């Protein structure tokens, strides 16, 4: 009997913002599909724990510090991951973001310093990561950017966060055209409210938040978003690029 070949076998994925939450879930999901998994974050302790959990699954793993706001930091990380991945990075998941700590306030009250921080991580970060990883992305490579369904709902009192995630959709479209010349696809995922550690700290009654607005009438789980990322990273999405996949249980249709 011919053994089943896991889709990720021989492929390397780099996941930013992997110290916990969705980033950790992505790491474990890709590991389960046979990928070599590289995880980076500014939280050294958290990303080390993610790496340990991935290693426990039997997957090959690399971990290190990766500050997506610093060209030097992400450049060093990309070079190290490429070495770990036999010279290439097949999939980049731009997950790092400021989310749970973002202050909700009217637009007149937003601190300009916080605006700059949100934009530096959530919008500039994906650009710097793609810029650093571009030399190592092979033909058929994949970039998956994380946006947010809040772009479509226009969440009040959260202008800087919503604007940053709207910018990710714009980045995705331009990157898709530029990297498409090398047969690399670039797509985005726009998750709805998902139950992560940060979400529990952000919203009261997180388990039931917004459930009544969804077609599926349940809370979003990290695994729901992981499935979308695996699809966009895999062979079944090879003719899909420049798109944003909303994964929110049918809370809104766009």
- Residue 95 sits in which domain range? 12-247
Q: Residue 34 falls within a domain, yes or no?
A: yes
Distance CA 225, CA 169 (A): 17
Q: What is the pTM of this model?
A: 0.94
Q: Residue 92 falls within a domain, yes or no?
A: yes
Q: What is the pLDDT of residue 254?
A: 77
Mean pLDDT across 14-23 = 97
Active site residue 161: yes
Choosing from 35, 161, 209, 239, which is the catalytic residue? 161
Structure tokens at 57: 């699954």
26-69 confidence digits (pLDDT tens)? 999 999 999 999 999 999 999 999 999 999 999 999 999 999 99
Q: What is the CATH number of the domain that holds 216?
A: 3.40.50.720
Q: Using N-to-C axis directions, what is the helix angle for 125-133 and 71-84, rounded to 10°? A: 40
- Within 8 A by CB and 6+ apart from 15, the residues are 23, 26, 27, 30, 37, 38, 39, 40, 93, 95
Give the count of domains, the chain.
1
Which of 19-33, 62-76, 95-109 has the least mean pLDDT?
A: 95-109
Q: Residue 252 falls within a domain, yes or no?
A: no
């Amino acid at each position: 009997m011919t053994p089943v070949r896991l889709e990720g076998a021989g492929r390397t994925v780099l996941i930013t913002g992997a110290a916990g939450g969705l980033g950790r879930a992505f790491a474990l999901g890709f590991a389960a599909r046979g990928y070599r998994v590289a995880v980076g974050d500014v939280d050294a302790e958290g990303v080390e724990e993610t790496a340990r959990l991935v290693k426990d699954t039997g997957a090959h793993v690399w971990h290190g510090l990766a500050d997506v706001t610093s060209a030097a930091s992400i450049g060093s990380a990309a070079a190290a991951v490429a070495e770990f991945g036999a010279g290439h990075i097949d999939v980049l998941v731009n997950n790092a973001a400021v989310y749970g700590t973002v202050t909700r306030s009217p637009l007149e009250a937003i601190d300009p310093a916080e605006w700059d921080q949100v934009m530096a991580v959530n919008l500039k970060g994906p650009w710097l990561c793609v810029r650093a990883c571009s030399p190592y992305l092979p033909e058929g490579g994949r970039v998956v950017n994380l946006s947010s369904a809040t772009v479509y709902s226009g969440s009040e009192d959260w202008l800087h966060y919503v604007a940053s995630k709207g910018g990710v959709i714009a980045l995705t479209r331009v990157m898709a055209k530029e990297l498409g010349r090398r047969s690399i696809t670039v797509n985005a995922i726009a998750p709805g409210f998902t139950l992560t550690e940060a979400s529990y700290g952000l919203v009261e009654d997180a388990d039931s938040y917004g459930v009544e607005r969804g077609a599926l009438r349940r809370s979003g789980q990290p695994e729901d978003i992981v499935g979308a990322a695996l699809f966009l990273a895999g062979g079944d999405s090879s003719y899909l690029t420049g798109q944003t996949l909303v994964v929110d249980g049918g809370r809104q249709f766009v």
